[in-house]
Amino acid sequence: MAIITLEEDIMHLRASGRILAKTLASLEERVKPGVSAEELDELADELIQSEGGIPSFKNYGSKGNEYPCAICVSVNDEIVHALPSKEKVFKEGDIVGIDCGVSYNGLYTDSAITIAVGDISPEKSALLEVTKKSMHAGIKQAKPGNTISDISKAIQASIDEEKYGIVRDLVGHGVGYGVHEDPHIPNFWPWRGNGGSGPKIVEGMVLAIEPMVTLGDWKTVTGKDGWSVHTEDSSDSAHFEHTILVRKSGAEIITQA
Ligand code: MF3
Ligand code: CO
Q: Beta strand pairing status for 212-214 and 237-239?
A: antiparallel
pLDDT tens-digit readout, 16-56: 999 999 999 999 999 999 999 999 999 999 999 999 999 99
Pocket around ligand 1: residues whose beta carbon is below 6 Å from it? 57, 60-61, 67, 72, 81, 99, 101, 110, 179, 208
CA 61 to ligand 1: nearest atom: 10
pLDDT tens-digit readout, 77-124: 999 999 999 999 999 999 999 999 999 999 999 999 999 999 999 999
Q: Which ligand sits closest to the CA of 167?
A: 1
- Distance, in Å, from the CA atom of 206 to the CA atom of 153, rounded to the nearest integer, reads 19
Q: How far is CA 209 from CA 97, 124, 183, in A?
A: 15, 21, 11
* Contact criterion met (CB below 8 Å) for 70 and 89: no
Mutation probe of ligand 1 site: the residue of 179, 184, 222 with most atoms within 8 A of C-beta? 179
Question: According to the model, what pLDDT value does residue 2 have?
Answer: 83
Question: Is domain 7-253 given the CATH code 3.30.420.40 in the classification?
Answer: no
CA 241 to ligand 1: nearest atom: 1
Q: Which ligand sits closest to the CA of 66?
A: 1
Buried b (16+ CB within 10 A) or exposed e, 41-63: bebbbebbeebebbbbbbeeeee
Torsion of CA 228, 233, 234, 238, to 10 degrees: -70
**What's the whole-model pTM score?**
0.97
Question: According to the model, what pLDDT value does residue 193 have?
Answer: 56
Distance 16 CA to ligand 2 centre (A): 15
pLDDT tens-digit readout, 206-247: 999 999 999 999 999 999 999 999 999 999 999 999 999 999
Distance 37 CA to ligand 1 centre (A): 16
CA 227 to ligand 1: nearest atom: 11
pLDDT tens-digit readout, 141-190: 999 999 999 999 999 999 999 999 999 999 999 999 999 999 999 999 98
Angle, CA 97 vertex, CA 92 and CA 98 arms, to 5°: 115
pLDDT tens-digit readout, 127-140: 999 999 999 999 99
> Could you tell me the pLDDT band of residue 195, with boundaries at 50, 70 and 90?
low
Question: According to the model, what pLDDT value does residue 18 have?
Answer: 98
| CB atoms closer than 10 angstroms to residue 187 | 27
Report the residue count for the chain.
257
> Could you tell me the pLDDT band of residue 191, with boundaries at 50, 70 and 90?
confident
pLDDT tens-digit readout, 60-81: 999 999 999 999 999 999 999 9
* Contact criterion met (CB below 8 Å) for 168 and 155: no
* Contact criterion met (CB below 8 Å) for 164 and 189: no
Question: According to the model, what pLDDT value does residue 212 have?
Answer: 98
- Distance, in Å, from the CA atom of 59 to the CA atom of 88, rounded to the nearest integer, reads 21
